[in-house]
Amino acid sequence: MMTSEAIKKIVKDKYGEIVKRASEQSSCGCGCSPDTASDIFSDDYAKLEGYAPDADLGLGCGLPTEFAQIQPGQTVLDLGAGAGNDCFVARALVGDEGKVIGVDMTDSMVSKAKQNAEKLGYNNVEFHLGEIESLPLQDDQVDVVVSNCVLNLVPDKSKAFAETFRVLRPGGHFSISDIVTGGELPTKLKEAAALYVGCVAGALTREAYLSAIEQAGFTNIQVQKEKQIEIPEALAEKYLSKEEILEFKERNPGIYSITVYAEKPATTAK
């Protein structure tokens, strides 16, 4: 079992590599290497207003901004903002009077996002270096939180949801796309996934994921979208024996991309 610090180092190192590769157009869904499973997670952003191709590194597993009910003038926080893809879509929704904040723990990603924002001429989108388990924001600061295929990379998900709850204003909500499983995955596959940022390696079961959200204090929890992810045979064969692949298929725990909505209760009037 890897330590939290080891997981974070893997994520930082791999995402740093992705930024370097960006100009070569060789990124793929959830940060996997080009020789693994290209685009098995990511969704198409091109139809969304505010989409900036230079900020799309193909690292998502859903379209959380499409479901987040973002309104003009609101303040939106993107957890694990990467090069700014979801932030720029959110900016189109909040308008000039709103504000978008992106947080990412990889220096090169934050630098890339800031460059993209400057290039686009946005003065109401800002990016900060920080970890989701200890967000560099004040209490009750944002109206909406979005995140795209990032919380599965966070070692302490309970702390991450607690921090999300803390920074949301009473009555605020989140829409988060993430990877969950229907059961336990083979250890070899989980460890292999960690080598290319752990889209699957860090995933909780669906039940545990939704439970962590509820335990953080959120209410009105809804799964807005769900799709099953198939691990390509060629990828599985790199890490599992034929017998292990057969057992995996027979047990079929399932790997899913889900988009989840939840609310922070409004302050009760006294």
Considering the entire predicted model, what is its pTM? Answer: 0.84
Q: Range of 59's domain?
A: 4-263
Q: Is residue 232 part of a domain?
A: yes
- Written as six digits, the tokens of 233 are 């045979």
Q: Is residue 268 part of a domain?
A: no
- Written as six digits, the tokens of 49 are 């207003």
Say what angle helices 4-21 and 187-195 make with each other, to 10 degrees: 50
Chain center to CA of 90: 15
State how many domains the chain has: 1
Question: What CATH number should be reported for the domain holding residue 222?
Answer: 3.40.50.150
Contact 59, 89 (CB under 8 A): no
Of the candidates 86, 81, 41, which has an alpha carbon nearest to the alpha carbon of residue 196?
41
CB burial of 136-163 (b: ≥16 within 10 Å; e: otherwise) equals: ebeeebbbbbbbbbbbbbbbebebbbeb
- Written as six digits, the tokens of 266 are 């409004």
Alpha-carbon distance 89 to 149, whole Å? 16
Residue 190 three-state SS? helix
List the single range of 45-49, 58-62, 80-84, 106-110 with lowest mean pLDDT.
Answer: 58-62
Q: Is residue 21 part of a domain?
A: yes
Q: Is residue 113 part of a domain?
A: yes
Q: Find tokens 């860090």 and name the residue.
A: 202
Q: Is residue 269 part of a domain?
A: no
* For the chain, percent of residues with pLDDT exceeding 70: 77
pLDDT tens sequence across 182-238? 877 777 766 655 444 455 667 889 999 999 999 999 999 999 999 887 777 777 777
Please check the confidence at residue 63 and state whether its pLDDT lies above 50: yes
Q: Is residue 270 part of a domain?
A: no
